[in-house]
A and B are shown apart, each in its own frame.
Chain A
Amino acid sequence: MKKMSYAAFAVALAALPAHAEELTVATAGDQNMVDYINQYLGPLFEKTYPGNTVRAVGTGPGDAGSQKILERFDAQAAANIPAWDFDVAVVHEKFVGPMVDKKYLDKYRGDIDTGSLVTRANAKMALGTNVDGYVMPMFNSQTAIAYNPALEPNPPKSYAELAEWAKAHPKQFGYNGIKGGASGVSFVMGWIYAFGGGDANTLMNGPFKEDETRKWDAAFKSLADFTTNATLTPGNAGTLDLLSRGEIAMGPVWVDMFYSWQASGQLPPTMKLILPAPGMPGQPMHYVLPEKAAHKDLAEKFIALATSPKVQAEGIVKRFNWYPGIDADKVKSELDAATWNKLFVDITPEDLAAKGKPFPIAPYNNAILEAYEKSVK
């Protein structure tokens, strides 16, 4: 009898997969990013590759979350640790450049079959740094101006018109400055693209020249005047809050957040979006794989799954209203027309192509933020 039970144990043990591994995925961003991995991507991966488990670690919202991941890499590199504790990290565009420069990342895109589905330029250059091969975009997000048609049926179509409009409608435009989330930052970047006096393309693609930063004085002066006529909101969510309560008529928001709030009923369905000329920035979140990740093979499989057309359609577009990270056409065929069209009601693919801009390269980005701190008080 005893022998039998030993045998049963042996059989049971042998049936378990030989390599049960735990994959650690660190992600910057709001709780919804952690939920996405815990509730959707993780279980899907565990089902596809049985025996392995996925552990999601949220490092906090906004740039701060990505900054923490970068600092973690810094610390482990400085301590010469052979196997780093994050296998996959999801970080903001701004932090990919420094990670590549410091040689923390693995050039893995060529190794996975979904790598060839990436078409957008922001997977090659990240704010002026060549990151080609090191990143897979998880999704692309975009900022735009949300407005309340009941208060303003004909929203301004460009930054110039917007400036005029705000003068005529004091306190009806709301934005969150630069310290309360990236939708306000994006609005400010768009302002400099529109009125900066230099070439906006240089700001987006480099190279960095000190001279360029001196061409913004007039733009910041007009932005300071504009801001005295605007309402300052507490954060990205604050702008949407004020919009939903009718306290402001329009303000810059993240497109995906706007749609999610509408879907959950936090924002009236009548609200609309417009992308003013010459354009506003958006940014991707990237999957990166540390050079010294402990479970590299598994990490590649995880990213390949996460960037497959099916997951991009189900998870990224349908669940979160994000624009897909891989070529949109490949994703479109996986979705019904209604879901697809919802993403492009107010902002057409043509708008997006013409007016969806990247953020400025890192040194200009910092210079603009600091100039804002100096002049808009």
Chain B
Amino acid sequence: MMSRRLLGLLLVLPALAVIAFLFILPLIMSAVGAFQVDGAFGWGNFVKTFDLYTKDIVFTVVIIAFSTMLIGIASIAIGGYLTLGEHPVAVTILRWLYRWPMFIPFIVVGQILRTFLAKNGMMNNTFVNLGLLTPLDAQSFLDWRGIVIAFVWKQTPFVALLVAGAMASVNRDTIEAARNLGASRLRVLIEILVPQVAMTLTVGLILSFVTMMSVLSVPLMINAQSPTMLTADIAFRVNSYGDYGVANALGLISLVLASSVAWIYLRASLRERA
């Protein structure tokens, strides 16, 4: 009996060691490093962080929260149409198309949008040629709007995939009952479908939120101005000043932001089970 338990421990040991040395240890070191200034413990790094980057922290939260909201709306719309759509060809086309952005890396998204959204880029040129815009009114979207567009474009398919799956497994009787009683499709979506997939939607959005918190390539390629995202600031602290202290402090702040969202999710799921 004892030897079997030992064997089991031995089997999980490699996995445990990987987690301990490659995740937990660096996390602790970086958290400790955030409170170290020239070898002594202190709040210096955080003072500097809030002095220089408060605006960026707010910017990051607002941009990502706004993107998350748009992703939520878009994925409900896609999932809803896949479930309730009555035009089989349109449903097939949408089903085939919507997943594509998921397989494109963030850096490529940044690269594509950099030329697409520029003042004389493809989007504005198309509008100008269609007569919707004059060249003088054209403006560059390579600022916070570019970041939001990149995030929404890239993350919507992921959430839509989860949501559409959950919606497909909802008991169709409830939908049909509502339809028989005369509810419009929009009403069925909002009052019947979405409440039943709310948990899946939340999980998808939280995972997206955390992913977006960690993306460096998009802000670097689309907007590395000020205010900018925290990831760009972390990279700048390390690369330009070799200053890991403030970079760690910034990292800790983004960890707090990310885990606060996870906490909301945990509370919600506990309440559901209770």
Residues of chain A whose beta carbon lies under 8 Å from any beta carbon of chain B: 62-64, 67, 70, 176-180, 231-232, 234-235, 238, 241-242, 245-247, 366, 369-370, 373-374, 376-377
The number of residue pairs between A and B whose CB atoms lie closer than 8 Å in the complex comes to: 71
A63 to B236, CA, bound (A): 10
Contacts of B119 in A (CB 8 A): 242, 245, 247
Question: Which among A238, A369, A373 is the interface contact of B226 at CB below 8 angstroms?
Answer: A373
A370 to B53, CA, bound (A): 11
A241 to B227, CA, bound (A): 22
Indicate if the CB atoms of A374 and B120 lie closer than 8 Å: no
Indicate if the CB atoms of B226 and A180 lie closer than 8 Å: no
Query: Beyond A245-B119, A370-B52, is A235–B140 a contact (Cβ under 8 Å)?
Result: no
Question: Which among A62, A234, A373 is the interface contact of B114 at CB below 8 angstroms?
Answer: A234
Contacts of A179 in B (CB 8 A): 220, 224-226, 228, 232-233, 236
A246 to B125, CA, bound (A): 13
Indicate if the CB atoms of B240 and A234 lie closer than 8 Å: no
Query: CB-CB contacts of B233-274 with A at 8 A, as 1s and 0s?
Result: 101101111100000000000000000000000000000000
Contacts of A235 in B (CB 8 A): 220-221, 224
Indicate if the CB atoms of A374 and B241 lie closer than 8 Å: no
Indicate if the CB atoms of B224 and A176 lie closer than 8 Å: yes
* B172 CB within 8 Å of chain A: no
Subset of 27 A-B contacts with CB under 8 Å: A62-B239, A63-B240, A64-B235, A67-B239, A70-B242, A177-B224, A178-B240, A179-B220, A179-B226, A179-B228, A179-B232, A180-B225, A231-B140, A232-B143, A232-B223, A232-B225, A234-B142, A238-B114, A238-B142, A241-B118, A242-B119, A245-B118, A245-B120, A247-B120, A247-B140, A370-B241, A374-B51
* B222 CB within 8 Å of chain A: yes
Considering residues A180, A234, A245, A376, which has the most beta carbons from chain B within 10 angstroms of its beta carbon?
A234
A246 to B227, CA, bound (A): 25
* B179 CB within 8 Å of chain A: no
A35 to B117, CA, bound (A): 31
* B55 CB within 8 Å of chain A: yes
Query: Beyond A177-B225, A179-B232, A238-B114, is A369–B120 a contact (Cβ under 8 Å)?
Result: no
A243 to B53, CA, bound (A): 30
Indicate if the CB atoms of A377 and B55 lie closer than 8 Å: yes
A376 to B119, CA, bound (A): 24
Query: CB-CB contacts of B108-147 with A at 8 A, as 1s and 0s?
Result: 0000001100111100000000000000000010110000
A233 to chain B, nearest CB (A): 8
Indicate if the CB atoms of A180 and B220 lie closer than 8 Å: yes
Indicate if the CB atoms of A373 and B224 lie closer than 8 Å: no
Which chain A residue has the least Cβ–Cβ distance from B115? A241
Contacts of A376 in B (CB 8 A): 226
Contacts of A176 in B (CB 8 A): 224
A373 to B241, CA, bound (A): 13
Indicate if the CB atoms of A373 and B52 lie closer than 8 Å: yes
Question: Which among B118, B233, B236 is the interface contact of A242 at CB below 8 angstroms?
Answer: B118
Which chain A residue has the least Cβ–Cβ distance from B246? A370
Considering residues A63, A180, A241, which has the most beta carbons from chain B within 10 angstroms of its beta carbon?
A180
Indicate if the CB atoms of B238 and A67 lie closer than 8 Å: yes
Which chain B residue has the least Cβ–Cβ distance from A248? B119
Indicate if the CB atoms of A234 and B52 lie closer than 8 Å: no
Contacts of A245 in B (CB 8 A): 118-121
The 5 A-B residue pairs whose C-beta atoms are closest, nearest first, are A180-B224, A64-B239, A232-B225, A245-B120, A179-B224
Which chain A residue has the least Cβ–Cβ distance from B242? A67
Query: Beyond A67-B242, A180-B220, A374-B51, is A247–B118 a contact (Cβ under 8 Å)?
Result: yes
Query: Beyond A177-B224, A180-B224, is A64–B120 a contact (Cβ under 8 Å)?
Result: no
Contacts of A64 in B (CB 8 A): 235, 238-239
Contacts of B120 in A (CB 8 A): 245-247
B83 to chain A, nearest CB (A): 39
Considering residues A70, A231, A247, A366, which has the most beta carbons from chain B within 10 angstroms of its beta carbon?
A247
Contacts of B114 in A (CB 8 A): 234, 238, 241
Which chain A residue has the least Cβ–Cβ distance from B125? A245
Which chain A residue has the least Cβ–Cβ distance from B225? A232
Query: Beyond A177-B226, A246-B120, is A374–B52 a contact (Cβ under 8 Å)?
Result: yes
A370 to B243, CA, bound (A): 12
Which chain B residue has the least Cβ–Cβ distance from A180? B224
B residues 188-239 touching A (CB-CB < 8 Å): 220-228, 232-233, 235-236, 238-239
Contacts of B235 in A (CB 8 A): 64
Indicate if the CB atoms of A369 and B240 lie closer than 8 Å: yes
Which chain A residue has the least Cβ–Cβ distance from B53? A373
Contacts of A238 in B (CB 8 A): 114, 142
Question: Which among A62, A369, A377 is the interface contact of B227 at CB below 8 angstroms?
Answer: A377
B46 to chain A, nearest CB (A): 16
B19 to chain A, nearest CB (A): 23
Query: CB-CB contacts of B99-112 with A at 8 A, as 1s and 0s?
Result: 00000000000000
Indicate if the CB atoms of B239 and A63 lie closer than 8 Å: yes
Which chain B residue has the least Cβ–Cβ distance from A95? B242
A178 to B223, CA, bound (A): 12
Contacts of B236 in A (CB 8 A): 178-179
A333 to B239, CA, bound (A): 39
A63 to B143, CA, bound (A): 24
Which chain B residue has the least Cβ–Cβ distance from A376? B226
Contacts of B118 in A (CB 8 A): 241-242, 245, 247
A245 to B124, CA, bound (A): 12
Which chain B residue has the least Cβ–Cβ distance from A177? B225
